[in-house]
Each structure stands twice: as C-alpha cells, then as structure tokens.
Amino acid sequence: MKNQNAGAGLQLSLVSLTIGGLSIGMTEFLMMGVLPDVSRTMHITIPEAGHLISIYALGVVVGAPLIVGVAGKYPPKKVLMGLMLMVCIFNGLFSLGPNYPMLMVARFFAGLPHGAFFGMGAVVATRLAPPGREARSVAVMFAGLTVANIIGVPLGTYIGHNFSWRISFTLISVVALLAILSLKLWMPNLKAQAQTNFRDSLKIFTKIEMWLVIGISAIGTGGFFAWISYIAPVITKVSGFSDNMLTVIMVIIGFGMAAGNFVGGRLADRFSPLVTTTLLLICIMVALLSFAVLAKFQVPTVLMTFLTGAIGFAVIAPMQILIMQVAKGAEMLASSVLQATSNFGNALGAYVGGLPIAAGFGYTSAEYVGIGLAFCGFVFCMGLFWRRKHVQTLKPAFQTN
C-alpha cells in the first residue's frame, strides 16, 4: 500500500510540472498562431509582430541562468510556484497591453521563467524518480509542451482568430494559476540542494564537455527547427494540401512530439543519454532527407510529419540527463542553460533554413540545411565519445543503465 501511495504521489508531483510546462509551451508557441491577429489589432506590421517572438527568446536566454543563480539556493517548490506566478502575471499584462512597447516588455518578462522552470523542474523530476527511471520522469514534465502543441496552441489560435488573441493569453494565465495550485497541493517540500555558490557553479563552463553538449543543443537541434519553421509552405505548395489542412498537420506533428517525448525518455533510461542522443540525431537526418524526397506525395508526407516530429522531440529528455551528468554539482544551472541554447537552436534553424528558400532553391531546401545542422550535432556527440575514451572522470556520463 505504501508503494502504491508513493507511486501516486510521484505521478501527481510530475503532473504539476506537466501543467506548468503546458502554460509555458502555450506562452512560447501561441504567438506564432495569432501573429496576424496581433498585427492587425495593434496596427503594426508582421515583422514588428514577429519581434514579440524574438523578445520572448531573449527573455529565456537572460532568465535561465540569472534566476537559477538567484533562486537555486531556495526550496524548489517555492521557486517553481514563483516562476509560475511570473508566467501568470506577465501573460495577463500582455493580454491587457494597450500599445506595442507594453507588449514587448510583457513578452520579455514572460520569457524569463521559461528556462529556470524546466531547468529546476528537470532536477526535481530526477530527484523524485526511482532509480533507472530518471529520464522518463523528465519526459513526463516535458509532456506539457506536447500537450500545448496538440491542444493548447490550436485552441488558443482558434480563439484568437474568431474572438480575440487577448482571451487566448488570458487563458494561459488561468493555466498558470492551475499549475500554482497543483504545485502547492502535490509537490513535496524538497530541501534546496546543497550546491556550490553561483560563482563556483559557473566553472562548469570551463569544461569542454559542457560546450560540446551546448553545441548539440544550439546547433544540432536546429535541424528540427529548420524543418518545422517552413512546414506550412511545404504542405501547401509542394504537397498540395489545402490551407485548412495545416491545422490537422500541426496536430499530427504534436502527436508525434508526444510519442517521441516518452520514447526518448525510455531509450535514455535503457541506454546511455549520449548513445540515445547520437542515434536520434542520425534518425533526424534520415527523416529530413526522406521528408524532402517524399514531399510531393501526400500520404508519405503525412506519415513523415508524424515521424519527424517524434524523432525531433525524442532528443529532449536524453539531452537533459546528459547535461546534468556532465555538470555535476551545478545541475540546475546546466539544465536551465540547455533551455536557453535550445531557443538559440530554434532561431538558428529558422534563419539558416530560410536562406536557400530566399535564394530560390525551393521550400524543401530547408530540410537539407537541417541535415547539415543535425550532422554538426552528431560531430559534437563524437567529440563526447572521444572524451569518454580519453578522460576517465567522465565515465559516469556515458555508462549504460
């Protein structure tokens, strides 16, 4: 009976993190769906509205190490609740913003808790998990992002198109409030980890291994974002689907992300995080090539959107465990930095993937750029394997479970 109660308590604790991930996922991705609506109602251009996406990413990059550095010494439960309060407040302010500068400020501050929440949440998930199930617990937390893409973002986009985008962002504040309540009720009162001070934690950046993992995140994962950033014109212009099918395709990708998230967690628990990450980068290269070749055929295209979404998202949990293993003693800082670098990968993939399209090489040319980015991530993985062979102290980061 005690084991059953403990198991139920663990699941509820992880669900509270999932709800928090849902609110953050909606905050990040909903703007892409309601961009034309914000542009129209605020009387700004589409590029100006697009800056609301970029300023959020800047907030993630700034907030991830800063908040962990300040709040890492406090009990995780209180910090996580505080981060969700920030999500609630600044999405609420965004929904009420009377002018463009106010919207920019609100979006920047809404991005601050993103990396810190997932960074601290990943560490908490591993502390709560039974031995050998750490990556699966981390995957449960990141399930919030997949739910956001399957349900939250399509729902918010529908509301934004048919009613008001302000209602959509108010809805995010409500989800954040639910996350606060669930954290209060279900998250155990874990003690703050006994870590070195923030200045000492920064020493992790003197490790070659840390920069190799950052390279995988900032460049290697850009291959996935090069693909998904330009999925819409490929689906409509190359595959020949109607515009109305875009929502269906995005939902299919969301289901693929959800499946891949849990598969990636299980693989990382079964094998080492580095082996799993390396194999998934190889798979994403194959998937991108297959997608580009088969894009003219509708049925294979639908299948490949699911598979590519699954493979692209499967790498998240293994990379979280990998970077925490590399950065022993500063896991929260490292985990939060991974979130910041993944946002860089998002921006890099979108920018570099668009260059050949702008040069007239066709919409599927972004996939070939994505293959190159994923290959760079694979090279960084090979560098980590080389370090495993030559640096004995890194052995725990690469051993299989």
Domain boundaries, the chain: 1-194, 197-401
Residues 6+ apart with CB under 8 A from 120: 68, 71, 72, 76, 79, 80, 83, 332, 335, 336
Which pLDDT belongs to residue 164? 93
Q: How far apart are CA 167 and CA 95, in angstroms?
A: 7
Q: Which two tokens stand for residue 1?
A: 């009976």
- DSSP helix/strand/coil, 361: coil
- DSSP helix/strand/coil, 242: coil
The CATH architecture that domain 1-194 belongs to is: Up-down Bundle (1.20)
For the segment 214-231, the average pLDDT, to the nearest whole number, is 89
Amino acid type, 267: L
Res. 155: pLDDT tops 90: no
* Higher-pLDDT residue of 327, 54: 327
* Higher-pLDDT residue of 297, 145: 297
Q: Are 373 and 220 in contact (CB under 8 A)?
A: yes
For the segment 298-312, the average pLDDT, to the nearest whole number, is 95
Buried b (16+ CB within 10 A) or exposed e, 268-304: bbebbbbbbbbbbbbbbbebbebbbebbeeeeebbbb
pTM of the model: 0.79
Which pLDDT belongs to residue 58? 83
Of 106-110, 154-158, 281-285, minimum mean pLDDT range:
154-158
Count of CB atoms within 10 A of residue 89's CB? 15
For the segment 236-250, the average pLDDT, to the nearest whole number, is 84
Which pLDDT belongs to residue 397? 43
Q: What is the pLDDT of residues 21-74, one digit of tens each?
A: 999 999 988 887 787 788 889 998 877 887 887 788 888 888 888 888 787 778
Residue matched to tokens 């790498």: 315
Residues 6+ apart with CB under 8 A from 371: 223, 285, 288, 289
For the segment 85-99, the average pLDDT, to the nearest whole number, is 96
- DSSP helix/strand/coil, 130: coil
Which pLDDT belongs to residue 400? 43
DSSP 190: P
* Higher-pLDDT residue of 72, 279: 279
CA 9 centroid distance within chain: 25
CATH number for domain 197-401, candidates 3.30.450.40, 1.20.1250.20, 3.40.50.920, 3.40.47.10? 1.20.1250.20
- DSSP helix/strand/coil, 197: coil
Residue 16: enclosing H or E segment and its boundaries?
helix 2-42
For the segment 378-392, the average pLDDT, to the nearest whole number, is 86
* Higher-pLDDT residue of 260, 69: 260
Which pLDDT belongs to residue 172? 97
Rg (CA), the chain: 20
* Higher-pLDDT residue of 276, 333: 276
On average, the pLDDT of the chain sits at 86
Which pLDDT belongs to residue 271? 87
pLDDT band at 199 (very low <50, low <70, confident <90, very high): confident
Residue matched to tokens 């960074």: 119
CATH topology of 1-194 equal to that of 197-401? yes
| Percent of the chain whose pLDDT exceeds 90 | 43
Q: Are 284 and 224 in contact (CB under 8 A)?
A: yes
Which pLDDT belongs to residue 26? 92
Q: How far apart are CA 178 and CA 164, in angstroms?
A: 22
Q: Are 79 and 332 in contact (CB under 8 A)?
A: no
